[in-house]
Each structure stands twice: as structure tokens, then as C-alpha cells.
Structure 1
Amino acid sequence: MLGKWFILLPLLTTQLRRGTQDPYKKECRTRGIQCHPKAICQLDEVTTDFYCQCLPGYEGDGTNYCQEPGVSITAFNRSACDGFGEQVCLIKVITGAQTVTFRVSIAGNHQPHTIKWYKFYSAQGAKFHSYRRRLTPANNLSPKMALVNSSLALTLFSIEEDDFYPNMFWAEIQAEALPDKQAAIEAYDFTDFQMLNPSHLRYFFVLERMPIEVGEFLEGDTVTIQLPQYLQVSPSSFIKWTKEPSPMTLFGTNAVVLANGTEGIEIKGVKYDYISKMCNGTRSEKNCHCNPGFEGNGVHCIDLDECVEGMPMKCLPEAECINIHGSYICRCPHGFEGDGLYSCVDIDECARGTHNCNRDASCLNTVGSYFCVCQSGFIGNGIHCKAKSTWSPWSPWSVCTVTCGFQNQMRIRLCTHPESGMRCEGPSTDLRRCPNLEPCPMNGQWSEWSPWSVCSETCSGIKKRIRICNSPAPSRGGLPCAGLKEEVTMCSNKKCPVDGMWSPWASWTPCPISCGLGVVSRSRRCNNPAPEHGGKNCTGHGYEEGSCGFPENFCKYLKRPSESIIPGKLIQ
């Protein structure tokens, strides 16, 4: 029997997702976090807090607003894509033999310099990390590339080995023009957030290889495949030889595979799992007939799909029929195991440990599935369980630092697991008096001073005040009050007025003549006391005169001068 062989080079197996992916939406809702319609709930792996983040290309805080970009990018012609997803165009090509052009269309206002093209190189192994190459400006392009139509199109003049998926190209609208001197090659990788939520500012082009036919072989032949003969490239470390274990493989269990590095592979004893026809003699309609599982005229036999309605099959009603080359297989539904023909037995995921329950949850098996319940003391959906907030044990009482008198002791406790969003009921602190403390000796303290007494005089008087040692009075051996219990002070600095008083009169002056009439005088001073501080002066005269002697006609009768004094007029 002849069979055609193909080299099936690595295909794009990543599912091209559509729509917004919001895996933590329920978590944000549980915590009362309302994200903007153009934002999704995210988990901060460092702080373990949930927050809202605007979708790629949108600007804002994720909660109150997410501003839509004023420009978007997409494929110019979707019909040129063999398959497409959200912001992804898949194109199937043959290595080295085809020119391909990636064209984009821009909606909204933009400048030509804001469109940047990149080529992404996926990581290969632990030592080769993923990176990207800037293809703009034009001096970053290799000779096999060209940017045309104001950077709206990128042309590859020949397809090379490293142009295929998982490597890929993309056009991106950037808000600001990057300097041309920026490094052309830089380490780069895509986050889960970028992969699950494509930005409308970026559009990907992915190249996928077409299968390469290498010939027809009979069962038992030895097959040798040399890659350079078909790929037109030099072998590289990225090429990996594998033998698929699925039922549709063309390799039998007795096939021997010898890999010669990356150059080629030799397969001895090719065996087909399913032979489509049997011939007796020459291969003609007369001598050949199709085997069970195939239909045709004997020369050309095609696989019969036993799973279509009306075809005889023996799968259990609950099992799924899957058509394979020359036959079919029965697959039990998810959560069951068995051959699908005679039995589909429930899998106890809880007993096998294949469940996804949280370590703080209990797993309960159900028919075809299981469900998770958070254990006592935890809340959540069973997949995510968080400990409920509870009080920690009380701390020890604080140490009493006094030996007598009065002092409080305190202890505290903490409300654990605040991330649950719950509150603990009751106080977080507790107070009590220090036990076994005797009253301390009480030293006496003065009371407040009494008001000043009334002044003893209206001027130059004194006043006083007192205080009592009773606030508190000394007790239990305490010291008495220190200091004076009475204070005396002058009422005012102003002195009382003093009225002037005369001193005694001085003696009369001697009579100046011995015969006849003369004048004598006497005086006194206002200094006994003198007037002070506004006091009155002395009243009266401070000087007097008088006459002395006798008339001259009497002098001849006198033997000596007269000393008689006759008061006269006062002269001041």
C-alpha cells in the first residue's frame, strides 16, 4: 500500500482569543471593587491586593475612567489572512519560496512616524531569551525587507526559517515618536495581560508553514528525510525531531528512528496503523477493494467518518465519538474514564489529588466532577480561600512601674487576616489597675493664697495674705509644706502728706542802743516738721520785731540802759 508522507513543521497551536479576558472579575466584585467597562480586575502579586487596570491602549485609573485611544490599527484586508483572531492575522506560506506583504489600516488621526514595525523572536530553551528587533527606521531593515506606503506595509522578499511562528511581526501605533538612536534589539516578552487582552494599538502577523510533501512509500520501506533539501535553509538548533504518539501516526510500534543531528532523519520499517485497501494483483478497481473504515472504488479509498449520524458505532450514549484515519475512538466525557465502548466510570478527583481545590478547602466528589468548600475559619469559593478575621490571643499585661499609689496595666490583641475584608467584634485593648499597691506617703501642698487684706492706712499702709497647708495636708508620713504661710507687703509706694509746723521762736536780738528806743527781732522756721508730700505750709509769721529802751527824756533818770522791750510791728 502506498502512502504519502509530509513534513509537518511547527504549527500555530495558540488559541487566538477573542474578547476581554477578566479572570479575577469575581474577586473584585466580592471586595466591592467596581472596574470601568474598559478595565479588568488584576492581582498585584507583591501586595496580593486586587485593583482595576485599563485595557491595553486605554489610559486611566481603571475605576473611574478609561480613555479610549483616538486611533486603532487592523489588517488592511482580512481576506488575505488564512485565519485571524483578535488583532492577529495568520498567513500560511512555504519557506524561502514566497514574497509576502503585511498591510495595515489605521482608523483615526495619526502621523506616519507613529507607526512602528517590530519582529519578535520567541525564547528557545533556558539560554536563549525572547527579544524584539525594531524594523523602523528603515536603516534597521535587512536587505530582504522594505517599508512602503508611509510605513503602512512591510514586505518580506523571501521567507526564512526564523520568520515563522512562534516568531512573529507586528505594527504598533505609538503616542510619541521614539528617537532613531534607540537600540534596535532589546529583550522583550509578552505578559499574560497583553496576551489575553490585545491592544487596538498593535496588530500581529504570524507566518505558518504549509506541509511539504516528500513522496510516496510502501510499508516496510526505509525513509530518509534531509531537511535542507526541502526547507532550503541551513539546519539550526531550533529544529527538533519528534514522533507523534497519537493513533493517527504513520509510525508503527516497530519503526526505528535514527536522527542525524538536525540534518536529517532515517526511519526503518515504515508501518501504517490503518491500511485503506487490499489488492490481489495489479492495483485496479477489479483487483482492489477498500478495507473496513474506508470507502471508494478500490483504487481510491477515503476515510469513512463513522461518527456521522446514521453510521453504525458502538460508543456509549454519554461518550463522544471521534473519527480517526480508518476507524473511530470513543471518548468518555470530562470527569469520567474508560474506553467509551463499554464503560465510562466517574473519576474521583478528590481521592486522586487531581482537583484544583485550595489547600484550606475540602474536596467533595460528584458524578463527573467535584466541588470545593472552604473549611471552617475560611471564606471563598473553594478555589480561593482566605482566612476569616479573628482576634489574636491577648498580649501579656504591661509591667507596673510604681510601688505605691495608682497605675493601670494594659494588654492588646490584633484582628488577623485583614485581607478577608471582615471586622472583628469587640475591643482591641483592655485596662485594669495594678494589684497590691499601697497608698503612697502624701506630702503637704499649699492651698491657693487668700485675697490680700484691707490696707491699714489710706497711704503708706501694709496688707497681707495667707495660705494653708491643706491641699492636701501631709499624711502617711509625708513632708509638711515648705515656705512661708504669710506674706506682707506695702499697699502703695505713695507717702502720706505732712503739714508743716513751726519750730519754737528764737531769742530776741540784743537791744542795739543803751538809751532811747531801739529795734529788736526774733524768728522761727517751718521745719518742725517741714511740709512734705503735698502737706500744708505753716500758718502765721516766722519773723517778729519789737522796740526796746526808753525815751531819751527818761534816760537821765536812769543809772543804766534800759532793757525793756516793747513789742513792735512784725516784719516777715
Structure 2
Amino acid sequence: MHVLTLAYITFFSVGLSVGLKNDPDAQRCLAVGLECHESAVCARDPVYPPGTEQAYYCRCLPGWQGDGINNCEVPPIVLAVAHPSRCNETGAQSCFMNKLPGQEVQFQVKSPGAPNVPIQWFKFYVGEPPNFNSYRKLLKPPQKEEPEDRPIPEGGTLTIPHIEEDDFYENLYWAEVQPTEQSTLGTSPVVAFDLAEDERLNPSPTRVYFGLETNLIVVGAFLPGDSMIIKLQNYIPKPHKLHHVRWKKEGNLTAFTRQHEQLLETTGPTLSLSHMKEKDFGVYRAEMFGRKEGVPGMELIATRRFHVKKDISKTCNGTRSAGHCRCNPGFLGNGEHCADIDECSAELADCLPNASCRNTEGSYQCECPTGYRGDGRTSCEDIDECAEEDEDVTSCHDDAECANTLGSFLCECKAGYMGDGKDCLGEE
């Protein structure tokens, strides 16, 4: 069995359990004198009636083993995203990428300290609410040549040559460590399956989830008091035979779920917002449910995301006219028409000498040069590429050492070897 080094286990257990765990019922256990282990959460025991002293207990995080109070041991083999820099958003054991239908995407995982660990890949289909079954589909490595448009797993890599409409969130892909004592390979490829709440809040370190997000469709800009309508048929290239449409107002991405998400009462293909208030601006998601070949029931078959944008160029008191509106800071005009001021071209930006300026709507952004990080206004600090964990950062040969430089790095062959650092050969 592959075993992680003690240093990695210590780092992983502290970083995950203390820094990232979600424990919404922590006070329940403390109220009855239970102090959970740093790698455990407080959970309700459904055997006991709510309110009784035994109703809550300490349970180790998913994938961890122990009594929840005195010990919780990290699994001997864990997974991580192989290339975090390719993710647009990351959370605990998750990677989200912004893609378009028809594009190719590749998911990769690694098992630090345990190379060549057997990996299983799954696709998770979300069923139609409120009475539904969700399903997972086991993606098997090809036994023979497969059609090019199918997801093909190979070890720690899953390649999707052609992204389909039903590949997007809330449908998910995930990789997990293949159990040694019992493999699911060879079983029914599609089975009813739902992600438990504790796994959503604190994903197991033996899994990595991948989600695809569609690009935002900008609608607006609107002022408070305006009304707007979104018709899905205007944004779907080919009409779908839909059974149900669910609308949501997105919340913040936490782990691989969006917390504080608001489910709307609208269930048809049209979303209307009348006399909009400040809380109405933001991102809305339409989830379309229908039948998918090979998956029972009604499943998520397509999604669209809309940014209902607020007009930040002006403030109006009444109708949109020069007499009732004034331009906000960062814009110039008579109130009826307000144009963005390009602070970069007008030399109004306050960026550091080595930082570049990028104009934004109503403002600007300072950006540090490649190889540096900071806000570009008060600091631009050199990145030590040699200390970064991302495998994309350095490509030095195994017989070379990485040397950090200002804004970059060098690969230098070790003593007794010659070459450019990317390739090193032993001296004869």
C-alpha cells in the first residue's frame, strides 16, 4: 500500500480540518459538553429524538477514520487537483472551469506521495426536483477504440473532447481513489446516487470534484425600479423538449456548492423581474430538465447563466433624463448619457511604476507584471516560482535545481551534469 509521508499528512490534516471545515452544528455539541476533534464535526444522530442529549455526536470528516473526539486519521491515500492554475474557481477538493459547449476539457488529479494509485471517474447527474433521483455514472477506461465524443478516463486524467449541454454544473465529474478491497468496476454503470450533506460541506480528501460553468450572458444595464424579462428560447440554439425549468439566484461558491442560493418561484422558460430593487441585481441560473439517454427519469440536460447588470454609470431621481440623473464618479456626461472615463489613457491612475493599468467600468485596475503578485498600487512582490506547488510553474529536469530570480526563475543543472536545466546529461 502507498503511504503518504508524515510531513504531508500533518500538513494536510491541519490545513483541511482547521482551515476549511464547515461545522454548522458545532455549538450543539459544545452545549452538551462534547469537544470534537479538529478533524471532526458535530452531527445529529437520527436514532434519538431531536432535543435529547444523545441527539448530537462528534463524527470524523468524510474519509477520515476515528471516534471523532480523541482521534481522526487522514486516509493513507488522498487526491488533489493536479493543476490548480487551470481552475477559474477552487474550493475544498474542487475545481471549476468556465467553458463553452463544443470545447475540449481535461481534468487531472494527483496523489501526493502515492504515485500510480488506481483512480475511478464518475459523472453525477442531478435529477428533477422536488421528487427525484440523482444518478452517478461510472466512466470506464476504454477496452477498445471509443468514439471521440465520449469522456475517456485514463488513470488520473479525464478527457472530454466535446463538451455537451448536460456536462455543466450542477452536474459534476469526480475522481476518487479506487477501493482496494472492493472495486465498482464491472457493476451497473448508472446507479441512483445522491451527494450527502456532510460530503457537500466537507468533501472527502479521497475525491476531487470538477464542475463546468457556462459563460455569463449579460442582461442590462438596469436602474433600480426598472423591469426586465429573460426568455430562454432566445438563448438556446436548438429548442429542447423540456419537462421543467428551475430558476435560481446564485450565491457564493463554497466547496463545490453555492451557499445562500435563492430558489425562485418561477418554473417556466421566462423570468420576469418587475420594479427591481438592489437585491434583484446579480447572477441568475436557469436549469433545464429533460430525458437523457441511458439515465432514468428527468435529469439536468442544460443550463444558462444570466448577469442582470446594474447601471452604475448614473444615479436617477425619477425618469432617465438629464434633469433627473447625474453621472457617478468615474463617468462623464450630462446625466442622460454617461461615458466611462479611461483613467489609464488620461493618466489619472495611481499605479506603481512597474505595474500596468487596465481600465474598468467606472474605475481602473493596476496589475503587477508577470512573475509578481500584489494589488499594483501599494505592492508588487516577486513570486518565488521554485517554492510554488503547481506543476505548471517549473519544468526543471530531475537533475537540475530551480533558482528564483526577480520576476522569473532559472533551471541550473546540478554539479556533475551539463545542459540548459530543462535537459541535463551526466558528464563523462
Larger radius of gyration: 1
RCO greater where, 1 or 2, for CA within 8 Å and sep 6 or more?
2
Larger strand percent: 2
TM-score computed with the length of structure 1 as normaliser: 0.38
TM-score w.r.t. length of structure 2: 0.50
